[in-house]
Amino acid sequence: MNRHRATSQAHTAPAQQGFTLIELLVVIAVIAVLVGLLVPAVQQAREAARRMQCSNNLKQVGLAFHSYHEVHGCFPSGYIADTLTNQPTRSTVTFDGPPGWAWGTLILPQLDQGNLYAKLNINLPCWLQTDPQWVQTTLPVYLCPSAGSNTGAFSLGGSGIVGAATFGRSNYVANVGQEEPWGFSQPDWSTVADGPLYRNSRTRASDVRDGLTNTVFLGEHHPIISSKTWVGVVPGAEVCANDPARFPATACDHATTLVQAHSGPSSSEPGIIHAPNAPTCHVCQMYSEHSGGANVCLGDGSVRFISEFINQDTWAALCSRAKKEVVSEY
């Protein structure tokens, strides 16, 4: 009797059910939708973090500029060069000469890089260092995380280059103004350059009559277009697009654009203004891999994100130092 009851209970126990094929497909579809929603959100969050780090880098550099001003009574030059002494290493086209050290080198002590600065022989040309490893140093403060993995030193090129050099990379350039003075074959750029930082400039805060808060000093330029350096300028070097097939509208430019950029309009390109990320993609303009624009550091040390859709006249006004333009909201 007990055996019969146990057998009966075994037959009446409910059978275990699994997922049907339709239910499984629905679950997979839901997971796919969730992943499709999550991945872009994660990518956006990562880019936001990279953009913030990039902004923080420029903030540090901006503060270093002001510390330099307190010590020397002026902001650092775009780069320094002997343009007057007749010597074999001086360019007969741009008048660039030694030593060539750029703003990125000059402010190293203000960026807590005094040890590196002490290892550089500032009395020698930047391309003739007895121990060249130091000019090849990678400095994270000069690298924007959004610029990708291309962070190592790079070799300069150019048919008229006076000395082979491999320099550490920078994703930031100094603003020379609207005009491109390297298009003028003259030793003194003070009457041509209308921005705050140019060759042998000694710009004081009081010289920026448009106001430090309305004047761009630094901005981004990523190696997606061309390579820049924190070290200096080598006479005769050329700056060319890293991917000419992708950026066919830009030609190679003079060595100055290793460390500087301009906004336009210029005498050589009347009416053309290169706002950040402008589709002309010139090696002499500011350009980032951030979506929608690029970070810039203003003369007061603050950092702003400039939309690639900024009014072009406003952008040009922000890049001059003393033209008394009225800068509208941007």
What pLDDT was estimated at residue 14?
54
The DSSP annotation for 237-256 comes to -EE--S-TTT-TT---EEGG
Q: What is the pLDDT of residue 27?
A: 78
- Tell how far CA 326 is from the center of its chain: 27
**Strand-pair partners of 293:** 307
CA end-to-end span of the chain: 92
Give the pLDDT confidence score for residue 308 in this predicted structure. Answer: 96
Tell me, what amino acid is at 92?
T
Please state, in angstroms and rounded to a whole number, the distance separating the CA atoms of residues 88 and 168: 25
Answer yes or no: are the C-beta atoms of 243 and 165 closer than 8 Å. Answer: no
Task: Check residues 160 and 55 and name the one with the higher pLDDT.
Answer: 55
pLDDT value at 85 more than 90: yes
| Residue from 235, 309, 241, 243 nearest 278 by CA | 309
Give the other-Cβ count within 10 Å of 153's Cβ.
Answer: 18
Summarised one tens digit per residue, pLDDT across range 129-162 is 999 999 999 999 999 999 988 899 999 999 889 8
What is the DSSP code (8-state) at residue 87?
-
Residue with tokens 């995380």: 145
pLDDT digits (tens, 9 = 90+) for 294-319: 999 999 999 999 999 999 999 999 99
- The band of 1, judged by pLDDT with boundaries at 50, 70 and 90, is very low
Mean pLDDT, the chain, as a whole number?
91
Residue 322 has pLDDT above 60, yes or no: yes
The percent of residues above 70 in pLDDT, for the chain, comes to: 92
Name which residue leads in pLDDT, 34 or 236: 236
172-177 and 216-220 beta bridge pairing: antiparallel
Look up the pTM and report it: 0.88
